[in-house]
Amino acid sequence: MKKLAVLGSGTGTNFDALFKEFGSQIVLVISDREDARILEKAKAAGIEAIFEKGGPDLCSRILARLEGIDLVCLAGFMRLVKEPLLSAYEGRLLNIHPSLLPLYPGKDAWKQALAAGASETGCTVHFVDAGMDTGEVILQERVPVLKDDTPESLHARIQVAEHKLYPEVVKQVLAKLTS
């Protein structure tokens, strides 16, 4: 059984979707925010939950915690991943982003889509590289932008797509790691 770790900075809705699908395969959750709800959710599920304060050596400290982990899933982790974590987990480090990359990288992508007058947006699961949301795209799900959308309503619909797409992609990547 392959072991997963989840890195997150927020409420943990994508963690919930991953946990629903992979359960006990998720053995570790790390957050750079001590008050992140994802840590509470992990603890409630009996998963080791660790707060790692930011700083220039954050990725080194995270890497030291990942012994025995096969796949790392970013789920609202609001920091750029750097060396040595990038090299150690190349091809085994995934992220979910709330837009159809390469459009609208970075924070609040759904607000960027609305501001640009986009007719559609969506979500992307991609491999993590040194850039901000620049890694190789694995799979995307389209979400229409409705004429009466607010940032909140659009984000909610994107999250529905994320919660379906992310577990699907994780299954695909795990299958490749096993073969």
Active site residues: 97
Distances, alpha carbon 81 to alpha carbons 1, 35, 127, 135, 139, in Å: 26, 20, 11, 11, 20
Structure-block tokens of residue 74: 């970013």
Count CA atoms closer than 13 A to 116's CA, side-chain side: 14
Question: Strand, coil or helix: what is 179?
Answer: coil
If phi > 0 it is left, if psi is from -120 to 50 it is alpha, else beta; for residue 73 that is beta
Helix/strand/coil for 27: strand
- Alpha-carbon separation of residue 9 from 29, 50, 74 (angstroms): 10, 11, 9
Residues 6 or more apart whose CB falls under 8 angstroms from that of 115 comprise: none
Closest CA to 155 of 101, 106, 112: 112
